[in-house]
Structures are given as structure tokens and as C-alpha cells.
Amino acid sequence: MIIVMASSKKEDVEHVVQRIEELGYKAHVIVGVERTVVAAVGDERGKERLTALEALPHVEKVFPILKPFKLAGREVRSEDTVVECGTAKIGGGHFCVMAGPCSVESKEQVNLSAQIVKDAGATMLRGGAFKPRTSPYSFQGMELEGLKLLWSAGQAVGLPVVTEATTPEQVAIVAEFADMIQIGARNMQNYGLLRAAGKSNRPVLLKRGMMSTINEWLMSAEYIMSEGNPNVVLCERGIRTFETETRNTLDIQAVPVIRKLSHLPVIVDPSHAAGRWELVLPMACAAVASGADGIMVEMHPNPEVALSDGQQSLKPRRFEELMAAIRPLLDVMKKTL
Ligand code: PEP
Ligand code: MN
């Protein structure tokens, strides 16, 4: 249920929160520009008792949230959410470019990558330390050492960093060394991991599962938000279809669909969608034109020797070309980098 406050006064909001909790619901306060609402989330069966809160003088109205995603949906918040991640802002007109190698491979490789993406205009540094690989025999990442290398490479150039946690146990250590926790496509429905990320105070980048519907994806965002973490950024990274020419099929329609259903920022990862470097620039342009709030792109100083995803990684010069290609489109879409 949504409780729309007639008053935004702290004591009035606290009073409503207390009443909601007494009725056995979780209260989430959402402060908008025009109004403050409190979402009461829990067992739907007792909702009549929440309706009674309408009698309070500082409550304007109480109505049900119709969609299954209660906190992620537009019903509860009509304005776009802006997620802040260190110096980067994502959503509400702020466009974010997360770029860097698929995996952290060495100190030199990650430092050089950080410098290249920073000079070209990226706003965040990416790099995997704990890698979710399809084969147990593939390179699994540099783990804690990689995490520390990524963090210091980001510090050196002044870019916030985003990296993946693959288990609930990794969330705390990733939160210590990264500005944003990535949940990968293979883990989109790992509910223990979603809950752990929801308890963390770092923003979360939630990739769409390669076989997941938009509804399932938003329900996964809901898991994170229901634990108290409102800072979720969605990432469309391609889904599995019958097509074999590309690694996945970029579902670009997901961007305007998400923007209609949810207030959360949505970005596009053209690298994992395409699986081939030459498709990354046109799909990055498509992402901007579709209304996305950012892109995530793999860039490697020397893709021929990359330990993972070399075939889809851009060389430094090609990454600069991508940045030059999207800038005029960002102006058209009234987005700022
Ligand atoms: C990645 O970003 O390196 C990654 C593994 O992506 P995905 O989870 O989308 O496959
Ligand atoms: Mn990759």
C-alpha cells in the first residue's frame, strides 16, 4: 500500500512509519520533490488495516500498489531516481559511462586501462576480480588481489569503481573496496546474494539474467530494495535467443519499457550483448537513443592477450571513437556526462 503524506514533517512521517510497523509491515519512506510517500510492504491480506491510516490528519490518502514490484515501480515514485556513486551520478539526465577490462589481470593492465578510459571521458572504472565463468577451467579472476588493484587504479585517476560479487559472502569485501557492487547476469536470481547486496550501503548494478523477463528482473531489484537499499541501477546486457551470429540479442526495447515501469536508472552493456567488438559502437549509440542512463563497455589496452572477453573488448582508440560518437547523441537526448 502507498500512504501519501499530507505533511512531510519529520514527526508526522515517523508517526506513520511507527503505525505501519505496528501492523506488521515494513515501511519505506520515499521523499519526492512534490510529496513524501511511505510504502508499506508485506502480507497483502491485512491491507484494510492500513487503509484506516487515511483517518490520520497528516495522511492525504492510502491506496494499493497494483504491480508486483512495489518499491521499484513508478507507482510509488513518479520522478526518476538518481543513483550517486562517488563522483558519478546515474539517472535523471545524468549519463554514466562505466568502462574498463572484463577482468583485472595485473597492476599494469588495470592502471593503464583506468588512465585510458578516464582520458577518453568515462565516469566509472569497471573490472572483474571475482569472475563468474561458464567453465570452471577458465580464468576465475584475481579475486581479493584484483579487487585491491582495481580500487587503487580507480583512486589514482579519480574514478569510482564497479565490480562483481558472486556470492553473499563476497558482498562485504566488495563493498569495502568498490563504490558499486555488480550482480551478474548468471546471479540475477540468486536471492541470498540479492538480499546481501540489499543490506549493504553501496549502490548495486543489477544485470538482467540472460533468460529473464523484465518482470523477473524488476522482482530481483525488489529483493535488493526490500532489504533497505534504494540505490539500484538496472543493466540490460542481452538475452539468449535463437540467433547465433551474436553472443546474445540486445533487447533495446527493455530500456523504454523499464523507464515506463520503474523509476530506477537503466543502463546498457553492448559488449556482453554483442560479443563482438565491431558491434559495440553502434549498439552504444542505440543505447543513448533509446533513453538509457548509461553504458557499460569493455575496453582492454591489448585485447589480443586478454584473459577473458578479448573478442568483445575495444582497443583504446576504438573506445575514444565510441565516446566521440555518443557525445552528439547525448546532447540530442539532453543528457550530461
Ligand atoms: C561482466 O560484466 O564481466 C559479466 C560477467 O557480465 P554478465 O554478468 O552480463 O555476463
Ligand atoms: Mn566480460
Model confidence over 14-71: pLDDT tens digits? 999 999 999 999 999 998 888 899 999 988 777 888 999 999 999 999 998 888 899 9
The superfamily in CATH containing domain 2-63 is Phospho-2-dehydro-3-deoxyheptonate aldolase; domain 1 (3.30.70.1140)
E strand or H helix at 267, and its extent? strand 266-268
Eight-state DSSP code of residue 246:
S
Q: How far is CA 168 from the centre of its chain?
A: 17
Atom 6, ligand 1: residue with shortest CA distance: 184
The arithmetic mean of pLDDT across residues 184-188, rounded, is 98
- Looking at every residue in the chain, the average pLDDT score rounds to 96
Site to probe by mutation for ligand 1, drawn from 193, 235, 269 as the one with most ligand atoms within 8 Å of Cβ, is 269
pTM for the complete prediction?
A: 0.96
Residues 184 and 212: beta-carbon distance below 8 Å: no
Atom of ligand 1 minimally distant from the CA of 269: 9
- Greater confidence (308 vs 46) lies with 308
Atom 8, ligand 1: residue with shortest CA distance: 184
Distance (Å) from CA 102 to ligand 2 centroid: 4
Beta-strand pair 180-183/204-207:
parallel
Distance (Å) from CA 320 to ligand 2 centroid: 19
pLDDT for 42: 87
pLDDT for 174: 98
In angstroms, the CA 290 to CA 67 distance is 24
Q: What is the CATH number of domain 83-332?
A: 3.20.20.70
The arithmetic mean of pLDDT across residues 312-319, rounded, is 98
Q: Which cell is 91 given?
A: 539517472
Cβ–ligand 1 contact at 98 (below 6 Å) = no
pLDDT for 43: 82
Alpha helices in the chain (DSSP H): 10-22, 47-51, 107-120, 143-157, 171-177, 191-199, 214-226, 254-261, 270-274, 280-290, 316-332
What residue ranges do the domains of the chain occupy?
A: 2-63, 83-332
